[in-house]
Amino acid sequence: MKTLIKALNLIFLFILIAACQNESESVGEKQLTIIPLPVKMTLNQGQYELKGNSVIYYSGDELLALAEYLSDQINISSGMELRTQQGTGKGISLSVHDDLPATLGQEGYKLDISKRGIEIAAGNTQGLLYGMQTLLQMIPQEYEECAECGEDELEFQYVSVEDFPRFKWRGLLLDVSRHFFTIDEIKKMIDEMAAYKYNVLQLHLTDDQGWRLEIKSLPELTAKGAWRVPRTGLWWDREVPQEGEAATYGGFYTQDQMRELIEYAKFRNIDILPEIEAPGHSLAAIAAYPYLSSTGRKYNVNPGSKFYTIDDNSICAGKETSYEYMEKVLTEVAELFPFEYVHIGGDECYKGFWEKCPDCRKKMKENNLKDEKELQSYFIKRLEKILESKGKKLIGWDEILEGGLAPNAAVMSWRGMQGGITAAKAQHHVVMSPVEYAYLDFYQGDPAIEPPTYSMLRLNKVYEFEPVPEGVDADYILGGQGNLWAESVPVFRHAEYMLWPRAFALSEVLWSPKDSRDWNDFVQRTEYNLRRLDRADVNYSLSFYDAIITPSKNEKGELLISLDSELADNEIYYTFDNTCPDDHSSIYKKGEKLTIPKDADTFRVVTWRDGKPLGRIITVKLDDLLKRIPVL
C-alpha cells in the first residue's frame, strides 16, 4: 500500500510540475511578443522581479549614457525610476566584452533573465542597445498601461536570448521634399525605428518639389528652392503657380540642425543617408539656378502640378558648370554626413531636353557616347569620382545601371528585383527596395476607405519580402529598405499611419532568420506592439483587419465578388441592401463568388472576430468595383 501511495504521489507531482511548466510557458509567450523575432530565445520557468529600488549597473564610463537612456525608457513605460551605477550587482547589468560567440557579429547581443537578475552583454555599444530594445519590449503590458499607478516592481519572464541581424542594411526612407517634416518629427520616427532595430534612415532631401538642406556655397537652393506656392488636393491635379503668387510652403534644415539630428540618430544606432537627386528630379535646384538646365529657362518649384516633359527638370550633363555645381553640393554633403554612402538618385531622368541641347551633343561627341543613356552614365561616373575624392561611396536607384554602371557604385533596386540581380551578378553591392514589397506610400487597405495613392501593398505582402533572390550571391545583398514617398503624405501623422505596422513586417524580414517567419504568430505580436505605439502617441493603420474585395466577371460579363482577409481567425459579413452589415447579416463562405442581386447598386462588407466588429465597414458602389477589373 505504501508503495502504491508513493507511486501515486510521484504521478501527481509530475502532473503538477508539467502544469506549472505549461503555465510558465503560456505566461512567457504572452510577454515575449518581440518584433523583430530574435534568432534564439529560450523560455525558462519563473519570473524575475525588478523592484523600484533596483539599479542599472554598467561596466565602463562609455556605457553611462546607455544606462541613463534605459532608465529613462523604463520610466516612460512603467513609471519606475531606476538608479544607474558603475560596477556590478543584482538588478540590470550592462556589459561590453569580447568573449561572446563570434556568431553575434557587430550588432548581436545576449540577454539573460534569471534569478541572478537581468544581464545584457554585447561586443560593443551597438549590440548592447539592441539588447536593451528587446528588454523594453518585454515589459509586461499591464504595467505599461498603468505607469502612473505607483507599481514598485516589474515581473520579467526568465529567458535566454542570443540575437543578431540577418542583414547589415535595414532601412527606411522618408521623403521630406514633397512635404516638409520637422526635426522633432524625424526624431520621433528615429525613436520608433530604433525600437524595432532599423539602422539606416534615408532622407530624400531634394526633388522637383523642394530642396531641404542648407548648402552654404549655394544659398539660393534654400532661399528659393525650399519654397513653393501652397496647394492641397490630389497630386498632379494641382494648379500651376500663377504670376506673382507667393511661394510660402516649405522649409529646410540648416547644417547645424542636421548635425544635431545625425548625433541623435547615431546614439540610437541609425545612420542617416542623404539623397541628393541628380540629374533628374532637380526642378527645385533649377528654379534656384536656371543655368543648370539645358534650356536655361526660369522655372518655379513644382507644387504637385503636371510638369514632366514640359519643364526641364534634369541637370544638363553637357555643361561643365553642372559638374562644378555638383562638386560644391557633394563637398558640403560629404563633410556633413558621416555615413559611408551618399545617395545621388539617378532615377526617372527625362532626357528629351538633352536630345536638343548643343552642350549635351558636344559632350557625347567628345567622349564617344552613343546615346543619352550613356551620357547619364558619364554624369553618374563623374559624381562617383567626386564622392570618392571625399572618402564616400556612391549609391543610386537602379536606373544608374543604364549606359554602364559606375565602377564602385552600389545599387538600390526599386523597379522590382531585376536591377539588384544584375548589379549583384556584376559584383556590386545592392540594397533591395522593390516597389512590389517596399513602397510604403501605397494603399494598405481598400481604396474606398483609404487616402488616395497609387497602388496596393498590404501588410502580409511586406512580410513575404525576400531580399536575396535565387541564384544571387548573398554577400552582395547588403539588405533592404522600405520607402515612404510623400506625394500623398502631407502631414507627419499620416506618415506614421503609412509606416506602421508595415514597418514591423519589414523589420522582421531584415533582422530575423528567414525560416523563422510565421504570419499568424507575427499578427499576434503586431497586435501587442500596436498598444505600445498607442502609449507613444504614434499613429498607425488597422487596415489589415479589413476585408479584401476582389471583383471579377463571369462569361456573361456580369460582376462577381470574392472576399478574403489578411487574418485567418475572423468572419466576413456583407450586405447589398444599403444597410450596414453586422454578425446578423449574410456571412461569407470562403471561396464563393457572390452574384449581384437585381437592381443592387452598393456593396458593404465588414470583418468580425470573437463576437465583436474587427475591421471597418467598407462601402463601395458596384460601378466602382467594375472599374477595378483590369481590361485585358
The catalytic residue positions are 207, 281, 348
- Length of the chain, in residues: 632
Q: Report the alpha-carbon distance of residue 587 to residue 568 in Å, rounded.
A: 15
Cis amide prior to 513 (ω within 30 degrees): no
User: Quick one: CA torsion of 468, 474, 478, 484, rounded to 10 degrees?
Assistant: 0
Q: Are 100 and 108 in contact (CB under 8 A)?
A: yes
φ, ψ (nearest 5 deg) of residue 43: -85, 140
Residue whose entry in the numeric block shows the C-alpha cell 504572452: 30
Distance of alpha carbon 106 from alpha carbon 99, whole angstroms = 13
Q: How many CB atoms lie within 10 A of CB 171?
A: 26
Q: What CA–CA distance (Å, rounded) separates 632 from 627?
A: 13
In this structure, the number of other CB atoms found within 10 A of the CB of residue 457 comes to: 22
Looking at residue 19, the DSSP 8-state letter turns out to be H
Cα 400 from Cα 419, distance rounded (Å): 9
Residue 365 DSSP one-character state: H
**Helix residue ranges, H only, 429-518:** 435-438, 459-463, 492-499, 502-511
Cell triple for 624: 466602382
d(CA 189, CA 514): 26
Q: Measuring CA to CA, which residue among 515, 202, 180, 245 is closest to residue 341?
A: 202
CA dist., res. 350 & res. 429, Å (int): 26
Beta-carbon-side half-sphere exposure of residue 314 (alpha carbons within 13 Å): 25
Cα gap 632→630, rounded to integer Å: 6
Greatest alpha-carbon pair distance for the chain in Å reads 109
Q: 24: Cβ–Cβ under 8 A, 6 or more apart, which residues?
A: 43, 44, 45, 46, 157
Q: Answer positive or negative: Cα dihedral of 166, 477, 267, 198.
A: negative
d(CA 71, CA 82): 6
* H helix or E strand, kind and range, residue 225: none
Q: In this structure, are residues 440 and 499 in contact, taking their beta carbons and an 8 Å threshold?
A: yes
The three grid cell numbers given for residue 86, joined into one nine-digit string: 558603475
3-state per-residue secondary structure call for 537-572: CCCCCCHHHCEEEEEEECCCCCEEEEEEECCCCCEE
Residues 6+ positions from 597 with CB-CB distance below 8 Å: 576, 577
What whole-number distance in Å separates Cα of residue 300 and Cα of residue 246?
A: 11
How far is it, in rounded angstroms, from Cα 283 to Cα 381?
A: 22
**Measured CA distances, 503 to 120, 270, 299, 495, 567 (Å):** 26, 15, 37, 12, 18
Burial class (CB in 10 A: 0-12, 13-18, 19+), 194: buried
* 534 C-beta neighbours (distance < 10 Å), count: 13
